[in-house]
Amino acid sequence: MSAGPPPDPAALAALHAATFTTPRPWTAAEITTLLALPGTFLTGDATGFALGQTTLDEAELLTIAVAPGARRQGLGSRLLAAFEAEARARGATRAFLEVSAENVAARALYQGAGWLQTGRRPGYYRAPEGGRIDALILAKPL
């Protein structure tokens, strides 16, 4: 999705922090560790990115983040499509993700792209004020 070198982990962490409170944002060190794992891939740039991982014929969308100023312009849909295309290119035939039950915008994005809920993890996320939020497990054949 981006022409040029991928953004550095610090830029990705800053974008993640501008995007998330639940689940908590990832640090640059955590992103660096994830990017070093076999099968992990990144699509996008410092305005928006999707981080995924493939194992055998399955892919997981680890996170997707769009800068607040770039929202409502179709970037999330393009990032999700790029994640799906890269996962297919890596041999995945099915993808899954977890999303906060309270993240209405993300849930609408995934539903619009054909993702279906396959499970629920009660109290999976800890909200900033300490409460617990369910995670929804969504999946899609690729």
Q: What is the DSSP letter of 74?
A: S
Look up residue 2 and give its two tokens.
């981006």
CA gyration radius, the chain: 14
Catalytic option among 110, 124, 125, 129: 110
- Does the active-site annotation cover 102? no
- Does the active-site annotation cover 110? yes
CB 115 within 8 A of CB 138: yes
SS3 per residue for 94-137? EEEEEEECCCHHHHHHHHHCCCEEEEEEEEEEECCCCCEEEEEE
Look up residue 25 and give its two tokens.
């944002």
Phi, then psi, of 126 in degrees rounded to 5 = -100, 120
Catalytic option among 60, 84, 86, 98: 98
Active site residues: 98, 110
